[in-house]
Each structure stands twice: as structure tokens, then as C-alpha cells.
């Protein structure tokens, strides 16, 4: 997501494409994704020029008040974002490398311009003068004034001029380096070539897809290749080769960029009077300070280790049984996915390769959309055939209406399969964010879900492992959060919430795929869609849900702890050595020698000092989902309340208040601990 504010610079540098045409408000207005390099360049320059002219007019207001300073300032930044976000999005999905590079240049330029905007003393003075009038504001108006002034203060406007310029320079350099870091990962094209002997255990469909004319197999680092290979390839040396490549995608170049970024972030935080970058970031989050995060992570870690150690022992026993005298008795980074899969097969009778045959992607997508419509009171219409071409022929387009009133809400795009140069993970991109326009109408949101699922071929359907069914529900939850907003200002729209709350709705929605009622609905055997996944297979899958949850959640705890360690240190460090030490200490599994995993840890450019938010918000997500479990798994009534109290509100009011309004009480961690297979004794709740 991208909001043109210094407060959100970390999020701004990650998943952040959102765009529209000026004044966009109706379904008939198309977005133009067919932009040339020259057109992208001219669009970005013109948008910045218009914004600058309008900002100068705000700075020159003779009688400043809320309506002629804060409101137009918000509108100007929102329009700038709207006018430049399609180019920014194309940096993630365009097929043409030249277009991706120019789109990234546009994104970088606009991000750096935002640094300039929030460093301008003339704008800060006029906004302070308006605030000093003491107008009686309430609700979103009062929140907009408060947050905008805070944005300027956090941009150094209270600093002397020399330090202010120093801070501005640091942040512009961070923008450049962060975009380069992310681009390096997205542009990675590395692969491994294996002979037949090293493909033993690999699923037949993957072997067919990766087969080369000379009898070898080309396995890329894209998710549809990497994960099935790591989970099924019996040859440990083959797994080691691929894992080494995967954890070296960013290379030494990104390691150097990361070191510079960390140094600049720390210097910027100290200029503003903060101890470190983590303290700066968390000052605006629900957790509030690094100490609270550390206590949360360490308390959870203590419980997870108790569960993880027997799981790791079971993995080692499986390894010894399979490798015999050759086994070193150690579960390596290239081993854990494989032996987790073996544990599921041997102890629980869960075979992911057989399970995915019941989850053809097109069927799962169709049934998932029906479930979201039912629960949230919506109506989706596939309009792909009647719309102008999007950025790729495989992309589907849907319009969204309220199920009761028929009122048009917005639209979303679905781009589900990998392409060269495309964003490598799964994510939801707000293309247009909802907001009230100057004429009183409401701008209709548009979003895109972008993923890298198994690509269909003429001779076979695309199939989803259960974990990717979960990913699909998760990311589409973000789309719903983005589309159903009713925030007055774009500053608070959709997923523009506290970073340690943004995952809450999406994590809540993913809980559905662990319920037999839902699994039955979204399944259908690839060769005969009328055949649903057998109930005994569902029961085994659910029984195995937490078979290795100790190790899996320790992995999340590690990523969060590593992120916090990077951003609470005031001295230079070897980021790889720190990664190796913490990975071994927390996950109980050693890092592979010769790799630089942090160089492809993309979340460090978007969730800096915020990766803990995945675990933190999951506590809230499980608690919220407990309402559906108690009142009806697919209850439209609970769904309507979710829309009203959380999805529509965005950050228009305090997130904790929205959560309490939906729950009808204070949140607690009991549902979370139960969900991940831990005892009911709880870590301190967020």
C-alpha cells in the first residue's frame, strides 16, 4: 500500500501500487495499463507539477482554516497518488522490462517528492496556523488534523534547518536503495538443472513441466517450482543446491544495500530524538515500543520451544530412517520442509500431492468468491470480457456491488500465475483507494490480488496445495479490506491502518480453510469436479494442522526477532552472522553456510521494525474469528458487523476501538493459542 506520508515510508517501499484517473468515481472509467516508457515518464512529471502548483496555493492561503488547508492538502496528495499509482503498479507486473524499470523510476521519484513535501516549512506553518484557530473538529476531521501535523513533526519540521536537510537527504537515499533492493529480488532469474536421478520424489506434473529436451530438469526459484521441490525431492544434495540459490537471490549487492539502509534509518531516527529506528516506527503502532514487542515474542517463544523440540526430534528420526548411516542427525534449512511433509504422510496420512488434486485453482477461486459474497453481503460479476485489456491476458476483472441494495462498490483484478519479472510473492495491491471527493461523491476503490500459483497448461489444470488455498483466502481478505472502506479521507482508507493491525482481517479470513464445511465447498477432484474431497481426508488434514506448528511459528518468531534486532542496534553489524545466530537459537535449525538470506528478505523494505505484526495481529484475527465459530461459520449477520466495525472504518478511528466494537469486549489470546496448538496459558496479550 502507498500513502504519500513520511510516516508510511516503509510500507510505501513495498507492496504499494494504487491508482486512478483524477476524479475517478464510476465503474465505467477504465484504468490504462497499456503505458509506454515515455508515457509513464510524462504522466509522473505532469502529476508532480500539478501537485506542486496546488501545494503552493495552499501555502499562500491568507486566512488558514481546516477547510482550506488540511482538506486540500489531503486531496492534493491523494490526487498525486491516484495519478501515479498505475505506473508504480506496473513496476510489479508489467511484462516489458523497460516498462518495469521506468515504472520503478516513477515510483522512486514520487516517493522522493513526498520527502520534499513533508519537509516544507511553508506548508507546516500554514497548517499549524489553521490548527491554532481552535476549530471544533470531531471524528475523521480531527484525526486528519492530528495525523497530518504528526507526519510533519516526524519529518523533522521541529528540527533546525541543517538537520532537517540532513534528514531529507537520508530519506531520499532510503527510497532509492529500498526500491533497488526489492527490484533485485523481483528480477532474479536463477535456477538449477538436475538430472533424472535427483528428481526422485518430485511430483509427476512438476517433472513434466520442468523437463528439458536433453533429459534434464530446469527448476526455477519461483514458488510453484521451489516449494514442491523442497517438500518432495528425496535427494538432500539437490535440495541443498536449490535452497542455497533461493537464500542467495539478492546476493552481496542487496546485503550492502541493507547495511546502508539500516545505517540511514538509524541516523534518521536519532535526528528526530528516537533511540533507534524501531522506536521511531513503533511510536505510531499498536505495540507502541520495542520492549513490548520483545516481551510478546519472547513469551510466545518460550511456549513454542516446548512444542517444537519434540517435532524436531521426530524430523531427525525420519531423517535417520531414510538416510541410514549417512545421516548427520541434523535438520538443515534444506531439510525441514521435506521432513515436515514426510511427517504429515507417515503420522497423519496427509499427502499434499493427493490433496491438491481436489483443489483446481479455477474451482477454488470461484467457490471462494461465493463464500465472501455470502458472508459479507456482496455480489461479484466477472466483467473481463467487456473491459479494456489489463496488463496481462490472464488477468480477470470483477465488479462488486452490495448484495442488498445493488449499489456499486468497486472492482478487483486477479493476476494469479507467474511471469518473468513479475512480483515474486503473493500480495494485494490497492489500485484506487476509497475517499470522499470534493463534489461529495465517493471514489470507488479498485484492488488487485497478485500471486504466483501453479500455471495451468492445455493438458492439465492448475492445482493448489492446501497451503496456497490458505494464501488465496488470506490475500483476498486484504482485497475486501481495501474495497469495503467508507473512510472519508484516503489517509485512513482500507488497509491504511496501523501496520501491526493490517494483517488482522486477512488472517481472520484464512481460518475458514481449516473448517470441513468450507473445504468441502471449495473442493472438486480435478478429473471430476462433482467429487468433493473425502471427509476422511479433510479430517486428517485438520488433525495435522499443528503437527509442526511449534517449528513453523518459531520461524515467524525468528523473522520478527531478526527484524527488531536489525532496527534496535546502533552499531554496524554483519547482518548474515546475526541471521545465522538468531536462526539457530530461535528456530533450532542452522542457516546454510554460504547463503545471504537477508538479501532476499523483502519484508525488510515494507515491514521494517514491523514483521512482528504478523504474529501480533494473528492474536486479534483468531479472537475475531471466534465470533464466526460461535454464531455461525458463514453468518451474514457477523459478516455485516465485520464490515461495519472494521472493514469500512479503516484507520478512520483507533484500531483498538474498532476491534472492541466488533468483539463486544476486550480482545484476549485464548483463541490464538488454541489455534496454533499451544496450552491455554497465554503470553501477555497485545
The tally of CA atoms less than 13 A away on the side-chain side of residue 468 is 29
For the chain, give percent helix, strand, coil, nearest 5: 60, 5, 35
Residue in this structure with the C-alpha cell 488472517, named with its chain if needed: 507
HSE toward the beta carbon, residue 431, CA cutoff 13 A: 29
* Integer Cα distance of 575 and 587 in angstroms: 17
DSSP 394: T
* Closest among 140, 22, 131, 20 to 489, alpha carbons compared: 140
Number of H helices, E strands in the chain: 26, 9
- Report the alpha-carbon distance of residue 342 to residue 357 in Å, rounded: 18
- 436 strand-pairing partners: 442
Nearest to 631 by CA among 641, 619, 645: 641
User: How far is Cα 484 from Cα 500, in angstroms, rounded to an integer?
Assistant: 20
How far are the Cα atoms of 166, 256, 266, 275, 299 from residue 270, in angstroms, in the given order?
12, 22, 6, 6, 29
Nearest to 392 by CA among 90, 102, 184, 107: 90
Q: Round to whole Å and give the CA distance between 449 and 395.
A: 10
Neighbour tally for 12: CB within 10 Å: 26
HEC sequence for 168-184: HHHHHHHHHHHHHHHHH
Residue 562: phi, psi to the nearest 5?
-65, -45
SS3 at position 222: coil
Sequence-separated contacts (24+) of 590-595 with Cβ below 8 Å: 590/330, 590/332, 590/333, 591/247, 591/333, 592/240, 592/243, 592/244, 592/247, 592/332, 592/333, 592/334, 594/244, 594/248, 595/243, 595/244, 595/247, 595/248, 595/333
Exposed/middle/buried for 664, CB within 10 Å: 0-12, 13-18, 19+?
A: exposed
Instruction: Give me the residue label for grid cell 513526498.
Output: 114
Tell me the CA end-to-end span of the chain in Å, nearest whole number: 24
Cell numbers linked to 482: 481495501
CA distance 444 to 109: 26
How many Cβ atoms are within 10 Å of 45's Cβ, its own excluded? Answer: 13
Catalytic residues: 475
Q: What does DSSP assign to residue 647?
A: I
**What does the alpha-carbon distance between residue 550 and residue 313 come to, in Å, rounded to a whole number?**
12
The rounded distance, in Å, linking the Cα atoms of 401 and 683 is 41
Amino acid at each position: 500500500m502507498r500513502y504519500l506520508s513520511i510516516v508510511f515510508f516503509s510500507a510505501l517501499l513495498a507492496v504499494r501500487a494504487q491508482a486512478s484517473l483524477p476524479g475517478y468515481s464510476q465503474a465505467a472509467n477504465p484504468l490504462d495499463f497499456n503505458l509506454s516508457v515515455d508515457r509513464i515518464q510524462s504522466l509522473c512529471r505532469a502529476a508532480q507539477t500539478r501537485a506542486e502548483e496546488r501545494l503552493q496555493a495552499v501555502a499562500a492561503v491568507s486566512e488558514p482554516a481546516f477547510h482550506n488547508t488540511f482538506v486540500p492538502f489531503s486531496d492534493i496528495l491523494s490526487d498525486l497518488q491516484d495519478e501515479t499509482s498505475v505506473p508504480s503498479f506496473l513496476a510489479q507486473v508489467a511484462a516489458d522490462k523497460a516498462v518495469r524499470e521506468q515504472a520503478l523510476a516513477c515510483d522512486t521519484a514520487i516517493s522522493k517528492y513526498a520527502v520534499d513535501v513533508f519537509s516544507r516549512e511553508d506548508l507546516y506553518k500554514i497548517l499549524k496556523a489553521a490548527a491554532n484557530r481552535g476549530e471544533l473538529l470531531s471524528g475523521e476531521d480531527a484525526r486528519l488534523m492530528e495525523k497530518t501535523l504528526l507526519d510533519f513533526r516526524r519529518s523533522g519540521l521541529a528540527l533546525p534547518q541543517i538537520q532537517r536537510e540532513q534528514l531529507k537527504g537520508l530519506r531520499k537515499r532510503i527510497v532509492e536503495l529500498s526500491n533497488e533492493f526489492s527490484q533485485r529480488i523481483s528480477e532474479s532469474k536463477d535456477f538449477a538443472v538436475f538430472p533424472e536421478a535427483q528428481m526422485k520424489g518430485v511430483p509427476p506434473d512438476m517433472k513434466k513441466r520442468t523437463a528439458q529436451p536433453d533429459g534434464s530438469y530446469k527448476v526455477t526459484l519461483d514458488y510453484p517450482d521451489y516449494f514442491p521441490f523442497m517438500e518432495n525431492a528425496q535427494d538432500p544434495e539437490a535440495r541443498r543446491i536449490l535452497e542455497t540459490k533461493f537464500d542467495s537471490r539478492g546476493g552481496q549487492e542487496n546485503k550492502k544495500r541493507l547495511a546502508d539502509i539500516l545505517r540511514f534509518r538509524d541516523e534518521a531516527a536519532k535526528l528526530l530524538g528516537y533511540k533507534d529506528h524501531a522506536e521511531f516506527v513503533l511510536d505510531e503502532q499498536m505495540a507502541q515500543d520495542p520492549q513490548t514487542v520483545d516481551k510478546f515474542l519472547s513469551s510466545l517463544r518460550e511456549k513454542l520451544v516446548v512444542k517444537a523440540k519434540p517435532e524436531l526430534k521426530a524430523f531427525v528420526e525420519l531423517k535417520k530412517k531414510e538416510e541410514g548411516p549417512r545421516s548427520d542427525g541434523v535438520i538443515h534449512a534444506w531439510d525441514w520442509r521435506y521432513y515436515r511433509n514426510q511427517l504429515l504422510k507417515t503420522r497423519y496420512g496427509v499427502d499434499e500431492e493427493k490433496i491438491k488434486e481436489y483443489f483446481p485453482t479455477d474451482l477454488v477461486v470461484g467457490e471462494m468468491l461465493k463464500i465472501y459474497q455470502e458472508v459479507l453481503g456482496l455480489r461479484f460479476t466477472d466483467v473481463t470480457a467487456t473491459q479494456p485489456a489489463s496488463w496481462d491476458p490472464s488477468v480477470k476483472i470483477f465488479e462488486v456491488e452490495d448484495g442488498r441494495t445493488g449499489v456499486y462498490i468497486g472492482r478487483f483484478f486477479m493476476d494469479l500465475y507467474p511471469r518473468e519479472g513479475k512480483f515474486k510473492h503473493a500480495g494485494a495491491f490497492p489500485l484506487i483507494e476509497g475517499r470522499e471527493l470534493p463534489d461529495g461523491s465517493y471514489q470507488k476503490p479498485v484492488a488487485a490480488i497478485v500471486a504466483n500459483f501453479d500455471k495451468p497448461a492445455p493438458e492439465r489444470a492448475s492445482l493448489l496445495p492446501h497451503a496456497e488455498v490458505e494464501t488465496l483466502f488470506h490475500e483476498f481478505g486484504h482485497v475486501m479490506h481495501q474495497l469495503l472502506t467508507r473512510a472519508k479521507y484516503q489517509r485512513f482508507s482500507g488497509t491504511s491502518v496501523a501496520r501491526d493491525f493490517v494483517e488482522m482481517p486477512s488472517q481472520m479470513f484464512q481460518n475458514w480453510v481449516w473448517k470441513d464445511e468450507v473445504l468441502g465447498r471449495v473442493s472438486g477432484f480435478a478429473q471430476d469436479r462433482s467429487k468433493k474431497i473425502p471427509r476422511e481426508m479433510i479430517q486428517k488434514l485438520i488433525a495435522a494442522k499443528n503437527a509442526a506448528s511449534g517449528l513453523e511459528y518459531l520461524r515467524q518468531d525468528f523473522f520478527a526477532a531478526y527484524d527488531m534486532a536489525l532496527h534496535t542496534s546502533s552499531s554496524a553489524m554483519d547482518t548474515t552472522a546475526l541471521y545465522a545466530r538468531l536462526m539457530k537459537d530461535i528456530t533450532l535449525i542452522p542457516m546454510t553456510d554460504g547463503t545471504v538470506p537477508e538479501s532476499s528478505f523483502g519484508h525488510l523494505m515494507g515491514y521494517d521494525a514491523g514483521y512482528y505484526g504478523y504474529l501480533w495481529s494473528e492474536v486479534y484475527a483468531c479472537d475475531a474469528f471466534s465470533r464466526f465459530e460461535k454464531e455461525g461459520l458463514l453468518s451474514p449477520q457477523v459478516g455485516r458487523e465485520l464490515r461495519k466495525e472494521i472493514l469500512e472504518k479503516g484507520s478512520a478511528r483507533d484500531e483498538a476501538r474498532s476491534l472492541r466494537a466488533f468483539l463486544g469486549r476486550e480482545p484476549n489470546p485464548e483463541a490464538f493459542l488454541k489455534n496454533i496448538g499451544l496450552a491455554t496459558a497465554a503470553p501477555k496479550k497485545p
